[in-house]
Amino acid sequence: MAETVIVGISGGVDSAVAAWLLQRQGYAVQGLFMSNWDEDDRYCTIAEDFQDARRICKCLDIPLHRHSFVAEYREHVFAYFLREYRAGRTPNPDVLCNREIKFGVCLDHMLRLGADCIATGHYARVLHDDGNARLLKAVDANKDQSYFLHAITPQALARSLFPLGELHKSEVRRIAHEQGLPVFDKPDSTGICFIGERPFREFLERYVDRTPGPIETPDGHIVGEHEGLAFYTLGQRSGLHLGGRRGALQAPWYVALKDASRNALIVVQDPQHPLLLSDEIQVADVHWLTSPRATQFACAVKTRYRQADLACQVRIGETGQVGEQVRVTLDRPARAVTPGQFAVFYQGDECLGGGIIEDRTLRRPMAYNPRLLREVS
């Protein structure tokens, strides 16, 4: 009897091709469309996506289940998103969505429906080895999503299949077209799922209070006013409205620092300014998919999605403890390392795990000294 696999059908081309591939491999395939957001406005595409999911499953002749995880999403993902922004940090809710929802309560629901394993349209690979599962990067480096999957449990990973891990996106589109899947030319979704295509600041202002304050250069010159530190992230160059400042270079401005104690946003015009460069990173709540064999080891780290691997040295306290903190020393300074984002560790193609960036050590901390600024003012 064929193994039953339930595929998360989002209504997009990736999950549609994932289901087709598994069907071709001999699995008894079913689909599940999950609802994580219940807002009805012009930016929410859930109704359209569900109709696309129905068309996909009809084309493949597989059953489609539907379930709402709205309450769980608001409690475990959206509440975290708001807490982090209100604290002046920049969260990545997609990592939490995978851990808590897709490979958490949704996986449990799929198992109750009779699934032997589950599958999604993520671009990643899983290697099942002697009862253990190892998470690997996708063959398509431009689409690799292992960064977003690093926080799921080893038990969830062992139950998961990623059929697209060996394919490039162009091949996925080609397969969808050749097989007559009705979403072969549907554009990829972008951005955070509950925000969609709407202006990000417009959405955030509904939940986070505006607290205006000065925009300053590192030497204390006020060049503008910000709308609230929560609305900016390190390295950001758009939305500052600082063009044409007298005495300033005709060059873009970049957010280099958020001084919460003074509610000041520090900006620079040099994209390689010392305030944007970090030598060390403190990473908290570390979750390991593959337990380290030593308390200090060399590997690579990504401090944001689609960033090139950064060579580093990792130092931990007690090997393999869930939730521990580690200090990461970078071989070369990294730009715009952002508290609240995730640092994800790799050994070659294998994703070892990761955690939340708690703090960073600036390459030249004296490039900004708020005490001196107060004396000047």
Continuous H helices in the chain: 13-24, 46-60, 70-73, 79-86, 93-96, 106-112, 146-149, 154-158, 169-178, 200-204, 370-376
22 in any annotated domain: yes
Q: What is the pLDDT of residue 321?
A: 54
Residue with tokens 């955030």: 204
Q: Residues 115, 220: one domain? A: no
Mean pLDDT, the chain, as a whole number?
Answer: 90
Q: Residues 107, 226: one domain? A: no
Structure pTM? Answer: 0.91
How do residues 107-157 score in pLDDT, each as one tens digit? Answer: 999 999 999 999 999 999 999 887 789 999 999 999 999 999 999 999 999
Q: Residues 244, 295: one domain? A: no
187 in any annotated domain: no
Q: Residues 232, 358: one domain? A: no
- Cross-strand partners of 226: 213
Domain extent for 349: 275-365
106 is catalytic: no
Q: Go through the chain and tell me how many residues it has.
A: 377
Q: What is the pLDDT of residue 268?
A: 94
Q: Residues 282, 263: one domain? A: no
Q: Residues 172, 25: one domain? A: yes
Q: Residues 332, 352: one domain? A: yes
Q: Residues 25, 117: one domain? A: yes
Continuous H helices in 12-104: 13-24, 46-60, 70-73, 79-86, 93-96
The CATH number of whichever domain residue 96 belongs to comes to 3.40.50.620
Q: Answer with the one of 271, 288, 317 that is the final residue of a domain.
A: 271
How do residues 159-191 score in pLDDT, each as one tens digit? Answer: 999 999 999 999 999 999 999 999 999 988 766
375 in any annotated domain: no
The CATH number of whichever domain residue 231 belongs to comes to 2.30.30.280
97 is catalytic: yes
H or E element at residue 117: strand 117-119
| CB neighbour class for 171 (10 Å; exposed up to 12, middle 13-18, buried from 19) | middle
291 in any annotated domain: yes
Q: Answer with the one of 239, 271, 303 that is the final residue of a domain.
A: 271
Q: Of the listed 44, 57, 97, 351, which one is catalytic?
A: 97
How do residues 24-68 score in pLDDT, each as one tens digit? Answer: 999 999 999 999 887 666 667 888 999 999 999 999 999 999 999
66 in any annotated domain: yes
Q: Residues 44, 135: one domain? A: yes
376 in any annotated domain: no
Q: Residues 106, 17: one domain? A: yes
Q: Answer with the one of 271, 298, 324 that is the final residue of a domain.
A: 271
d(CA 334, CA 272): 10
Domain count, the chain: 3
Q: What is the pLDDT of residue 43?
A: 67
72 in any annotated domain: yes
Annotate 298-354 with three-state secondary structure: EEEEECCCCCCCEEEEEEECCCCCCCEEEEEEEEEEEECCCECEEEEEEECCEEEEE
145 in any annotated domain: yes
The CATH number of whichever domain residue 307 belongs to comes to 2.40.30.10
How do residues 309-357 score in pLDDT, each as one tens digit? Answer: 999 999 987 544 556 789 999 999 999 999 999 999 999 999 999 999 9
Q: Residues 154, 51: one domain? A: yes
DSSP code string of 16-34: HHHHHHHHHTT-EEEEEEE
Q: Of the listed 44, 57, 106, 193, which one is catalytic?
A: 193
Q: Residues 310, 214: one domain? A: no
